[in-house]
Each structure stands twice: as C-alpha cells, then as structure tokens.
Chain A
C-alpha cells in the first residue's frame, strides 16, 4: 500500500533562516504531488504541485520554492523565512480519481 512521509514533524526557525521540508511517497510510481499550507484554524492553501520529475507548478507567488529531484520525492524550500510562513505544511499525492492522500505534516513556527 502507499505511504507518504514528511519530515521534520515540527520545526522552529528564526526569521531570515533557510527552510527545507521533505516529502517522500512509497508504494506508487509517478504520483502527482502537492504542497499545501494551513494557517492555524484555517483552510488549505495549495502552494505547489508536480506531475513529474523537474515539473513544478506554483499556485501562489511567495518566497517559497519547490523541487522534485526524484519520482517520489518532493521538497519545499525557502532561502529566507518570513513570520507569515508559519503554518502546517502538508504534502499529498493524488489517487486515480483525484482524491488526495496527505502526509502527517510539518508544523513550522517562524520566530
């Protein structure tokens, strides 16, 4: 069966520091992968999605970037974090009928 991993689970970073969050998927090949952000008590904001290696689509202009160096690896990065980057970051992959399966998430606090 398919499994999605995210790390780290929690992260506290100072403003201006870099960021790298990793997501990996097991048990499927060539998945569509997504990065979402959820502010506390709010809905899901789609940040990036990828349909294959090296293919990234950005939904929201911001100081974040994404990369897909391998088929089942999706990375979210920033060169300089802002306070507004705090939130719950969720990686997801899409099933055959576009349903989404989410990873456990990373809680990021920018101080």
Chain B
C-alpha cells in the first residue's frame, strides 16, 4: 500500500544548530501537511502545502513541497529547546485519504 517515509528517525542537535526532516511518498499527493507532537502531547497541525514547488515559512520553520508532489521537507533554523518534539508529515492521496509519515523525533540540547 501507499507509504510515507520520513528521515531521519531521530535527530539530536545543539541549540542554535539547524535541523531538517525529509518526507517521501511512494505516490503523488494532493497536499502535504505537517504536524508537531510535543513529548506527552497530541499532534498539532502546523501547515499545509498544496502547489508543486510551494515554499511556506513560519518564523524559523520553512516548509517545502517537491516539484513532483511526492516529497516535502521541514527546515528549522537556529533550533531552540522549544522545538523539541516529533514532527510528522501527512500526505493526502487521490482518494482523499490522509497518510501519516513515520515521524522524526527532534531533541535539542541547550
């Protein structure tokens, strides 16, 4: 079946370093969504990308949707301890089914 994979699975960074997580789908997506789940919490919707090659920014977070609409990335500039958590991408396929990625767990050391 359709899969959405994320790499890396884990990332440990020093505070102030940059961080990137990559999301890859086996099939073309209608849109890509990103969620953040703080330790002990529930996933929270961050953003949605719809257009091929689209780039959106939220403060230090930059989200990109690939030209082929099969991959996406989330880049955090100058990480802070508040960025700790697991980041999930989720792709909407052509049957309007949302497929969640495997997640990337980010740890930030002060």
Q: Which residues of B contact A104 (CB under 8 A)?
A: 41-42
Contact A100 B45 (CB under 8 A): yes
Contact B88 A44 (CB under 8 A): yes
Interface of chain A, main secondary structure? loop
Which of B1-51 touch A at CB < 8 Å? 31, 33, 35, 41-45, 48, 50
* Interchain CB contact (< 8 A) of B31 among A41, A97, A100, A101: A97
Check if B85 is an interface residue, CB within 8 A of chain A: no
* Contact A102/B31 with A43-B102, A44-B100, A97-B48 known, Cβ cut-off 8 Å: no
A30 → B minimal CB distance (Å): 16
A45 → B minimal CB distance (Å): 9
Contact B42 A99 (CB under 8 A): no
Q: Which residues of A contact B102 (CB under 8 A)?
A: 43
B56 → A minimal CB distance (Å): 14
Contact A43 B103 (CB under 8 A): yes
- A90-B43, A104-B41 known; 19 new pairs, CB 8 Å cut-off, are A41-B105, A43-B88, A43-B100, A43-B102, A43-B103, A44-B43, A97-B50, A98-B33, A98-B92, A99-B45, A99-B48, A100-B33, A100-B35, A100-B43, A100-B98, A102-B42, A102-B43, A102-B44, A103-B42
Q: What 5 A-B pairs have minimum CB-CB distances, sorted nearest first?
A: A102-B42, A44-B100, A99-B45, A105-B42, A43-B102
Q: Which residues of B contact A (CB under 8 A)?
A: 31, 33, 35, 41-45, 48, 50, 88, 90, 92, 96, 98, 100-103, 105
Cβ contacts A to B, 14 pairs, < 8 Å: A42-B103, A43-B100, A44-B100, A46-B100, A95-B45, A97-B31, A97-B48, A98-B92, A98-B96, A99-B33, A99-B45, A99-B48, A100-B33, A103-B42
